[in-house]
Structure 1
Amino acid sequence: MTRLHLFDLDGTLIHGSAAAVEISRQLGVEREIGELERDFAQGRLLPGDFAVRACELWSGLTEAQVAAAFEQAPWLAGIREVWADIRARGERCAVISLSPGFFVERLLDWGADAAHGSRWPSVPFREPVDPAGILNAAAKVRIADELCARYGLGRADCVAYGDSMSDAELFAVVPTSVAVNADHHVSGIASYAYTGRDLREAYECVEKRG
């Protein structure tokens, strides 16, 4: 059976952190991004508002800093191995994240078939971020449907991996889901739950059960 495995990024593939946090660390604005993260988690900021504020914090961001943030992020172990196994089975894997596309798309080099993030201006920024290009939870479902159409699959063929509120809508429409180091928004609705730092173990929750 061909399946499409859909991975969240922040808090899922990156353990206990997020692309925005790792980028902000390179710029020395961890405290400021932490405040924005809290406001977003508590519903005081919409994804587009968060992006506009983050873009202001990152006005001096360079490609070298993005590369450093990516390389130094606390990634789960085994990501490349899991994606290689998925593809060896004739299945597909994709990343869908609210984080900036310029960060998310670097995962194509690790073996993802597709990587979708929010639309940001190119680095270094020469124009402001457009809130209309920032993804939200509903966009994850829309993109999953687009990927299914591309690969000749349906929602019934999908497995979702995520950790938080932005994954809940996707978890609700696919038959199989894995809550990875997750909070209450998805832990109660997921098919399986995994706590740890190795994606191979989270992946086995699904594969051991066929």
Structure 2
Amino acid sequence: MTALHLFDMDGTLLLRSSASLEIGRRTGHLAAIEEYETAAASGAMDNLAFARSCHPLWQTLTEADIAAAFDAAPWIEGVRDVWADIEARGEHSAVVSMSPLFFVERLLDWGVGSVHATDVAIGAPLDPGLVLTHQSKAVIAAELCEKYAVPPDACVAYGDSLSDIALFQALRNTVAVNGDERIRSLARLSYQGTDLRAAYRLARTLLDGPRSDREDGAT
């Protein structure tokens, strides 16, 4: 039986940061993005409002800006190794993020199987129908399970915060990666640290059974 691994990006693969923050840092809009991020984290700003607020700031972005922000971002260690192991086992991986697709899709070059994100057009109006919401993650998980003929109990979600709650409620196998209190309370297992390989080894116990040894940072 194969399996599906679903990864959040902001705060999970990106340590204590997000695509929007990294782009804002590179383009001089960091203060504005920090304000929007704070509002979104508290629930005061929904996904569509966040996308609408950021959209004007993205309109002058170049490929060089996006590449520089991506390359300088604080990625968790071991991302490529984890995705390579998943592929070698004949399993599936996906990143599901509410961040701009033009940033998230660069992870395809690192070996993730597919990416699903808010499709923000540069040089065109924002299409609200292409903005992902918290609930979108659970919907995409169900669609991918059907596509790959993976039963829900063979699907593992990795996340850290508010945007992952619907997904964690929909799935049995969940791993909080540097998660906040809300997501840790929902997660089957939790990992605190800077290496995705350790979180992934922990997640494998949900699919393959427990190991006799414990990973550092795992609870």
Matched residues in 2 for 1:93 and 1:58: separation? 28
Where does residue 217 of structure 2 map in the other structure? none
Measured in 2, the distance between the counterparts of 1:113 and 1:130 equals 25
Distance 1:139 1:207 in 2: 25
RMSD: 1.1
- Per-residue Cα deviation, 1:45-87 (whole angstroms, up to 9, x for no partner): 1101111111122332111100111111100110000011111
* 1:207 corresponds to: 204
- Say which SS state the counterpart of residue 186 (structure 2) adopts: coil
Contact (CA 8 Å) 1:24, 1:58: kept in 2 or not?
Answer: no
Q: How does 1:117-156 map to 2 (within 5 A)?
A: 117-121=117-121, 125-156=122-153
Instruction: Report the Cα distance in structure 2 between the residues aligned to 1:170 and 1:43, rounded to whole angstroms.
Output: 17
CA distance in 2, matches of 1:63, 1:128: 19
Whole-angstrom CA distance in 1 between matches of 2:10 and 2:51: 15
TM-score, with length taken from structure 1: 0.95
For 1:63, the equivalent position in structure 2 comes to: 63
CA distance in 2, matches of 1:172, 1:6: 14
Aligned partners of 1:48 and 1:132 also within 8 Å: no
Shift in Å, 1:17: 0.2
Alignment of 1:55-204 (within 5 A): 55-121=55-121, 125-204=122-201
Secondary structure at the counterpart of residue 95 of structure 1: strand
Q: Distance between the aligned counterparts of 1:103 and 1:73, measured in 2?
A: 11
Instruction: Give the counterpart letter for 1:63 in structure 2.
Output: E
CA distance in 1, matches of 2:177, 2:42: 20
- 1:120 offset after TM fit, Å? 0.9
- 1:208 Cα shift? 4.3
Contact in 2 for aligned 1:156/1:175 (Cα 8 Å): yes
SS in 2 for 1:188: helix
Shift of 1:43: 1.7
Output the TM-score relative to the length of structure 2: 0.91
Unaligned runs of 5+ in 2: 209-219
Question: Following the alignment from structure 1 to structure 2, what is the Cα–Cα distance between the partners of residues 45 and 131?
Answer: 15
Structure 1 residues without counterparts, runs of 5 or longer: none
For residues 22-57 of structure 1, what are the alpha-carbon distances to aligned partners after superposition, in whole Å with 9 as ceiling and x for unaligned?
Answer: 011110111110001111112221101111111122
Write out per-residue CA displacement over residues 131-168 of structure 1, whole angstroms, 9 at most, x where no aligned residue: 22110111001111111111111222200000001101
Q: Distance in 2 between matches of 1:206 and 1:82?
A: 11
State the 1:128 CA deviation. 2.3
